[in-house]
Amino acid sequence: MTRKKLLEIIEEGEGLNVEFKQRFSSHEKVAKEMIALANTKGGVVIFGVDDDKSIYGVVSEKEEAELIKEAAEKYCEPPLNYSIQILNIEEKEIVIAEIHESQNKPHRLQDYKNEIDPNVAAVYIRINDKSVLASKEMIKIFQTQSRNIELKKYEIGNIERQIFDYLENNETITVDELKKNANISNRRASRALIKLVRANALFIHTKDNGEDYFTIAR
């Protein structure tokens, strides 16, 4: 990244692919932002710049880089693919951590468990300029995509027909809405919607508050 490009990014402000940090706060907080970028489209965490675009610089670029390395490798599971760059802006050192979009989603905060538990794992995704917790539906979709798990012997049944009937009159549907409309358990509603996403019949979306909803794939 060039100095010119960095200044352009700072001027544009935080967004889907950009997070500012005035300083390294804690391993967990930084790992959260890095995980969200890796689980979405990738991006950069820029240290030494505040949320309002003010440029402060870091006290020690070497120390900052080492802390970033620890967050990416020890506080993320699985560890993240990243690179670090240091640039001088206004005679202040800025540290840029570039996080590449992962091919091994979902990443989560280190919990020292052998397998991911979608009900409790701290998996983050990027929504606009925020990092939010991913739903268990999103986590399960990530898992099937990363493992290239094929959808076998899938048929359109009564629940699926109810989903499409509902979407004929409504633009979106949620797990809770399907649960109530079809009078089924939360688990069955979640599973039915996930399968339709995997079958490319539905899209999954996430709101700023982390809630998911589904729409017809067009």
Residue 199 maps to which CATH number? 1.10.10.10
Domain encompassing residue 206 = 150-216
Q: In the predicted model, what is the mean pLDDT of residues 19-37?
A: 95
**Strand, helix or coil at 125?**
strand
| pLDDT 10s digits, 77-87 | 999 999 999 99
User: Predicted confidence band at 74 (pLDDT cuts at 50, 70, 90)?
Assistant: very high
| pLDDT 10s digits, 122-170 | 999 999 999 999 998 999 999 888 776 666 666 678 899 999 999 999 9
| pLDDT 10s digits, 87-132 | 999 899 999 999 999 999 999 999 999 999 998 999 999 999 999 9
Token couple for 21: 């940090």
> Is residue 142 assigned to a domain?
no
Domain boundary among 78, 98, 133: 133
Residues 8 and 86 in one domain: yes
Query: Over 70: is that where the pLDDT of 72 sits?
Result: yes
Q: What's the whole-number average pLDDT of the chain?
A: 92
Q: What confidence score (pLDDT) does residue 152 get?
A: 62
Query: Over 80: is that where the pLDDT of 218 sits?
Result: no
> Is residue 140 assigned to a domain?
no
Residues 207 and 157 in one domain: yes
pTM for the full model? 0.85
Give 49-100 as a 3 state SS string: ECCCCCECCCCCHHHHHHHHHHHHHHCEECCCCEEEEEEEECCEEEEEEEEC
Residues 33 and 95 in one domain: yes
* Residues 193, 195: Cα–Cα separation, whole Å: 5
Q: In the predicted model, what is the mean pLDDT of residues 56-69?
A: 95
| pLDDT 10s digits, 40-49 | 999 999 999 9
